[in-house]
Amino acid sequence: MTAASQPQERRRDLGETIQALREQRQNTLSTFCSMTGVSNPDQASRDLADIPPAALQEFLNNMVDYLAMGHFTIYQRIVDGKERRSVVKDAAQRVYASIGETTDVMVEFNDKYEHFDGAESDQQSLKEDLSRLGEMLAIRGDLEDQLLEALLG
C-alpha cells in the first residue's frame, strides 16, 4: 500500500464505520418504535400498551450494541486524541458532553430493565422511563449527526 492510498483507505473505512453506526441507530429506533407503537421515539407517552418482556429485551440488546458501536468505533478515537481535524474537534467539543449524558440515561435504563419480567406493577414505571428514553434517543441522534457530518467533512 502506498502512502497516498492510506488516507483514501482511512476515509473509506471511516465512511463504512459511520454507515454501520447509522444502521445500528436505525435498528435501535425501529425496535423502540415497534415495541412502543409510536412512529417517532420522542412521541412515546405514558399511555402505551403493556410492554412484553421479549420486546423490551430485543430493544435493550439493540440499544447496547448501538452504544458500544458508537463508543468503540467513533467516540474513543476522539477521546484518545487520534482525530486531528479542527472541524471534528470543534464538533466534539460542542456535542460530546451531551452525548455522554444521553449515554448515561440509556445505560441506567438498561441496568434498570435488563431483568424485566413484565409484571403489571412495573409497567407504569417502564412507560414513564420509555417516554424519557425516547426523548434521549432523538436528542442523541441529532447530536451524533453533527459529529458524524464533521467526521465525513
**What structural domains and CATH numbers belong to the chain?**
5-152 (1.20.120.1370)
Residue 114's pLDDT band (cuts 50, 70, 90): very high
Average pLDDT of 35-45?
78
Q: Is the pLDDT of residue 7 over 80?
A: no
Q: Is the pLDDT of residue 92 over 60?
A: yes
CA 104, 100, 60, 134 torsion-angle sign = positive
Q: What does each C-alpha distance from 75 to 21, 27, 41, 89, 132 come to in angstroms?
A: 11, 20, 23, 11, 23
Long-range pairs, 80-83, Cβ under 8 A, ≥24: 83/151
The predicted pLDDT at position 14 comes to: 85
The predicted pLDDT at position 5 comes to: 60
The predicted pLDDT at position 82 comes to: 82
